[in-house]
Amino acid sequence: HAHAGSHRFHMASTLRPLYVSLAIGIACVSLMFIGKRRGNLSSTSSRRVIRPSGVCSPARRLSRNVKTFSLDVKTFPAKKSTVSVAVVIVDHGSRREEANKMLFEFAELYKDISDRSIVEVAHMELARPSISDAVGKCHEKGAESVVVVPYFLSRGRHVQSDIPKLVEDARDEYPSLEITLADCLGMDKMIAQVIEARVSSAIEKQA
């Protein structure tokens, strides 16, 4: 039992930098969409703008992990929109409860580093909450706009077909919300850094 506990602890500690890197990638994607939308929102005088409440500082544990992984958080685009924007992070979904719980943990990490007040998670299939469930929670919390981010590495069938259809269903269910589908994580140098970190770690274990 002690060996199994040690192995789980080692896996958690080695995967955490990956979560940090992916959280930063999603933050960049969502902020990029929000920046592009600002121009459209400013020209529409009839749209009500909500001023965000006080912004909390990122968790101290993030700075430790980022330093370990040598990522430059200063490359984040500035937040330009004052509209209440929510983020929904969507993964595939699993029948294994522990796999689904990991997405909630990742969402908390993303929320810490992005300072976004409304962050929800959704599973594409096999488990709840669904995309519509998550969008509904955003609506209840006062969001005017929602960015749905696929927690996927590549643009496969789920990203190109299944998730867009589910997002369209959510738009029909919540017509008052502006719902934008962001790109998947895809090609990013930070993900390449994660791979290199894993390679380096494997080589060190062999030594």
pLDDT bracket for residue 158 (50, 70, 90): very high
Apex 31 CA angle, 38 and 89, nearest 5:
125
- Stronger pLDDT, 91 or 40, i.e. the higher one: 91
Q: What percent of the chain has pLDDT over 90?
A: 53
Apex 92 CA angle, 89 and 97, nearest 5:
95
Residue 37 has pLDDT above 90, yes or no: no
Q: Given the structure tokens 């390679």, which residue do they identify?
A: 199
Active-site residue (options: 92, 123, 139, 158):
92
71: left (phi over 0), alpha (psi -120 to 50) or beta: beta
Q: Rounded to an integer, what distance in angstroms lies between the CA atom of residue 162 and that of residue 110?
A: 24
| Coil vs helix vs strand at 41 | helix
Residue 162 has pLDDT above 60, yes or no: yes
Q: Rounded to an integer, what distance in angstroms lies between the CA atom of residue 8 and that of residue 160?
A: 34
What local confidence, expressed as pLDDT, does residue 143 receive? 95
> Looking at beta carbons, which pairs linking 157-163 to residues 24 or more positions away fall under 8 Å?
158/92, 158/124, 159/184, 162/124, 162/125, 163/90, 163/124, 163/131
Known catalytic residue at 158: no
Mean pLDDT of 67-74: 43
| Coil vs helix vs strand at 112 | helix
Residue 45 has pLDDT above 60, yes or no: no
Q: Rounded to an integer, what distance in angstroms lies between the CA atom of residue 156 and that of residue 47?
A: 36
CATH hierarchy code of domain 85-204 = 3.40.50.1400
- Stronger pLDDT, 81 or 198, i.e. the higher one: 198
For the chain, give the mean pLDDT: 76
Q: What percent of the chain has pLDDT over 70?
A: 60
Peptide bond into 52 cis (omega under 30): no
